[in-house]
C-alpha cells in the first residue's frame, strides 16, 4: 500500500497507524533475516510512535502528511539517543545527542521510524558490501547486491519493510541502489534538503533524498524533508519544492535529451540501453520532443569524483580520533592512540579513500590532482548548463548493469568505482537527478532509468519521472 494511501487513511481514522506498523513489522520478521536491510529495527519505539499518532487522530488533531507511514532511515543520519553507526566499528555504540533535521521533519510529519538501514561504511561503496556488519542482499535475488551505498534503504522499500526510506547520495548512493532494487530514488538539487545531522562524507556532494515504491510517494516525502534549514549553511533559502500538485501534468512539448556519455558507454548491458530508448519513446508518444545530446566532459566525471570525494572525506573523517566519541584503542601517547584507533575502527575501503584523499591534497600533488579535479568540475557544470538551454530534462541509464552477484567486484576497487559512471555527473554539477524503475534486464532483475534536470528543476523532473513510470506500467501489463 502506498504511503499516500496510508497517510490518507490514518488521517481519516479509517486505519490505525498501529495496524499499519504491525503489518510492516510482520514483513520484517519474515524476510529481514535473509535480506539484512537494517542495522537496527526499532520495534518498541515505532509502536510507541504509532500509538501516539493514533491518539492524535482520536483527539481530532492532524498528525501530518506522513501520518502513520513507516519509514526507514539510513544509518548515517543522527537519531537522538539511538545508535548511529555509519556501518563502521569506529562509531559502534555511539548514541547521538541530537536528531538530524530530516529526522525531526519526518517525525513532525507523523511518520513512524522503523529502523536504521545498512550502508557501505561511511557511505563509501556501490554494493553495501563495505558494511562492517555484513552485506545487504537484494530482495529480488538474495545472491546479488542491492547496490550502494544506501543499499539497506533501497532493499527495505523493495522488500515492503517500509513504503518510504531516506538515503544519502554523494556519487549515486541513492539512485544506483534504487535502480538495482527496482524502486524510485531521488537526489535533489544540492542544498534543497538540509544535511544537518547527516554524518559527512564529501560535504560539497552529499545530499539526502527519498526512496519510495512510486514517484508520487517520493514526491510526498521530498515535500516533507525539503526546504531551508538555518542549521545547514549550504541549505538553499527557499521552501520545499511543490511536487504533488503538478505531478500528472502532461509532458507534451517538453524537450528531453538522451545523454550519449551516460547511456552509450562501454560495458552497458543491451537491455539497459534498450530501456532508456523505450522510456524515451514513451515520452515521445506522450508529446515530448526527444533528441540525443552530448555532455562531453561527463566522461571525466568518475576521475574528478574519485579525487574530490576522497579529498573531502579525508578531511571530514579526521574527526574520528578516539577523543570525543566512538572507539578508542589505547596507546602510549595521543598520536599513537589516534593511529591505532583509526587503524582498528575503519574498514579497508574507508582507509583506501582516506589515503587517496590525503595523497591528492598533499604538498606537491594538490594542484595536479585536487585542483585539476575542481577545474574539471567547472567544465562539467558548464556543459550541463549549456545543454539545459536546449533541453528541459535529460535521461540516461542509472546503472550500466542490473544487480551483480555479491563478491563480484570486491577484489577490484576501480571496477566498483565505475558503477557510478552515470550518476556522479549530477553530484559534481549539483543538479537534481532520480532513478525510475523501467522493466527488467538480465535474470529478470530491475532496470532503472535516470531523469536529470537543471538546478531546482525538481517539479519538471518528477513530472517526467511520473510519465516514464506510467509507460513502464503499460509495458509490463
What is the footprint of another protein within residues 428-457 (CB under 8 A)?
A: 428-431, 455
Question: By CB under 8 A, is residue 333 in contact with another protein?
Answer: yes
Question: By CB under 8 A, is residue 358 in contact with another protein?
Answer: yes
Q: Which of 336, 390, 405, 474 binds another protein (CB under 8 A)?
A: 336
Backbone dihedral angles phi then psi of residue 287, each to the nearest 5 degrees: 105, 0
Q: Which of 236, 272, 459, 467 binds another protein (CB under 8 A)?
A: 236
What is the footprint of another protein within residues 139-168 (CB under 8 A)?
A: none
149 noted as active-site residue = yes
Q: Which of 26, 29, 30, 95 binds another protein (CB under 8 A)?
A: 95
Q: Which of 266, 330, 389, 444 binds another protein (CB under 8 A)?
A: 330
For the bound state, the minimum distance from the C-beta of residue 271 to another protein, rounded and expressed in Å, comes to 27
The rounded Cα 84 to chain-centroid distance in angstroms is 17
List the catalytic residue out of 149, 153, 194, 297: 149
Question: By CB under 8 A, is residue 314 in contact with another protein?
Answer: yes
Largest CA distance in the chain: 71
Strand 184-187 versus strand 207-212 pairing type: antiparallel
Nearer to another protein, 283 or 461 (CB): 461
Contact in structure between 85 and 79 (CB atoms under 8 Å) = no
Which three cell numbers mark 150? 544506501
Nearer to another protein, 95 or 386 (CB): 95
Say how many residues touch another protein, by CB under 8 A.
Answer: 73
Which three cell numbers mark 237? 533559502
Nearer to another protein, 165 or 376 (CB): 376
Question: By CB under 8 A, is residue 83 in contact with another protein?
Answer: no
- Say which residue the cell 574530490 belongs to: 308
Question: By CB under 8 A, is residue 285 in contact with another protein?
Answer: no
Nearer to another protein, 95 or 474 (CB): 95
Please tell me what DSSP assigns to residue 98: S
Question: By CB under 8 A, is residue 386 in contact with another protein?
Answer: no
Q: Which of 191, 197, 210, 437 binds another protein (CB under 8 A)?
A: 191
173 noted as active-site residue = yes
List the catalytic residue out of 87, 126, 150, 173: 173
74 noted as active-site residue = yes
Sequential DSSP letters for 377-444: HHHHHHHHHHHTTT-SEEEEESSSSSPPBTTSSTT-HHHHHGGGTTTHHHHHH---EEEEEEEE-GGG
Residues contacting residue 335 through CB under 8 Å, at least 6 positions apart: none
Task: Please report, for residues 354, 360, 367, 369, 371, the alpha-carbon distance to residue 364 in angstroms, rounded to integers and kept in the order given.
Answer: 18, 9, 7, 10, 11
Catalytic residues: 74, 149, 173
Amino acid at each position: 500500500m502506498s504511503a499516500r494511501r496510508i497517510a490518507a487513511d490514518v488521517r481519516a481514522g479509517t486505519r490505525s497507524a498501529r495496524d499499519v506498523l504491525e503489518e510492516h513489522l510482520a514483513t520484517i520478521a519474515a524476510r529481514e533475516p535473509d535480506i539484512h536491510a537494517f542495522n537496527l529495527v526499532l520495534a518498541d519505539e515505532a509502536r510507541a510512535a504509532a500509538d501516539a499518532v493514533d491518539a492524535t487522530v482520536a483527539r481530532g488533531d492532524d498528525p501530518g502528511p506522513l501520518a502513520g507511514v513507516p519509514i526507514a532511515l539510513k544509518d548515517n543520519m543522527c537519531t537522538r539517543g539511538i545508535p548511529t553507526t555509519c556501518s563502521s566499528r569506529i562509531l559502534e555504540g555511539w548514541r547521538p545527542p541530537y536528531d538530524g533535521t530530516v529526522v525531526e521533519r519526518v517525525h513532525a510529519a507523523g511518520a513512524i521510524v522503523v529502523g536504521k538501514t545498512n550502508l557501505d561504511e561511511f557511505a563509501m561503496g556501490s554494493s553495501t558490501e563495505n558494511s562492517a556488519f555484513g552485506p545487504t542482499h537484494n530482495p529480488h535475488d538474495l545472491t546479488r547486491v542491492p547496490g550502494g551505498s544506501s543499499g539497506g534503504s533501497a532493499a527495505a522499500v523493495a522488500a515492503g519493510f517500509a513504503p518510504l526510506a531516506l538515503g544519502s547520495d554523494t556519487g549515486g548512493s541513492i539512485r544506483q541502489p534504487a535502480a538495482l532494487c527496482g524502486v524510485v530514488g531521488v537526489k535533489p538539487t544540492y542544498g534543497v534538503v538540509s544535511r544537518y545531522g547527516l554524518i559527512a562524507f564529501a560535504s560539497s556532494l552529499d545530499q539526502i533524498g527519498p526512496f519510495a515504491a512510486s514517484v508520487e510517494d517520493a514526491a510526498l516525502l521530498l515535500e516533507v524533508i525539503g526546504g531551508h534549514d538555518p542549521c545547514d549553511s549550504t541549505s538553499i533559502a527557499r521552501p520545499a519544492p511543490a511536487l504533488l500538485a503538478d505531478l500528472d501534468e502532461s509532458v507534451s512539448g517538453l524537450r528531453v535529451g538522451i545523454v550519449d556519455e551516460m547511456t552509450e558507454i562501454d560495458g552497458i548491458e543491451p537491455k539497459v540501453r534498450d530501456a532508456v530508448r523505450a522510456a524515451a519513446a514513451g515520452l515521445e508518444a506522450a508529446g515530448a520532443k526527444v533528441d540525443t545530446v552530448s555532455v562531453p566532459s561527463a566522461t571525466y566525471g568518475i576521475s574528478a569524483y574519485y579525487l574530490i570525494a576522497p579529498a573531502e572525506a579525508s578531511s571530514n573523517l579526521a574527526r574520528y580520533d578516539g577523543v570525543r566519541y566512538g572507539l578508542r584503542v589505547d596507546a602510549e601517547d595521543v598520536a599513537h592512540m589516534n593511529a591505532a584507533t583509526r587503524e582498528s575502527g575503519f574498514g579497508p575501503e574507508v582507509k583506501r579513500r582516506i589515503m587517496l584523499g590525503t595523497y591528492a591534497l598533499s604538498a606537491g600533488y594538490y594542484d595536479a590532482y585536487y585542483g585539476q579535479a575542481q577545474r574539471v568540475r567547472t567544465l562539467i557544470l558548464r556543459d550541463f548548463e549549456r545543454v539545459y538551454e536546449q533541453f528541459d530534462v535529460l535521461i540516461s541509464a542509472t546503472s550500466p548493469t542490473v544487480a551483480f552477484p555479491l563478491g563480484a567486484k570486491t577484489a577490484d576497487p576501480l571496477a566498483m568505482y565505475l558503477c557510478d559512471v552515470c550518476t556522479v555527473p549530477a553530484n559534481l554539477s549539483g543538479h537534481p537527478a532520480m532513478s525510475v524503475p523501467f522493466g527488467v534486464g538480465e535474470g529478470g532483475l530491475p532496470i532503472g532509468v535516470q531523469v536529470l534536470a537543471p538546478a531546482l528543476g525538481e517539479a519538471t523532473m518528477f513530472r517526467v519521472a511520473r510519465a516514464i513510470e506510467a509507460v513502464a506500467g503499460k509495458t509490463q501489463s
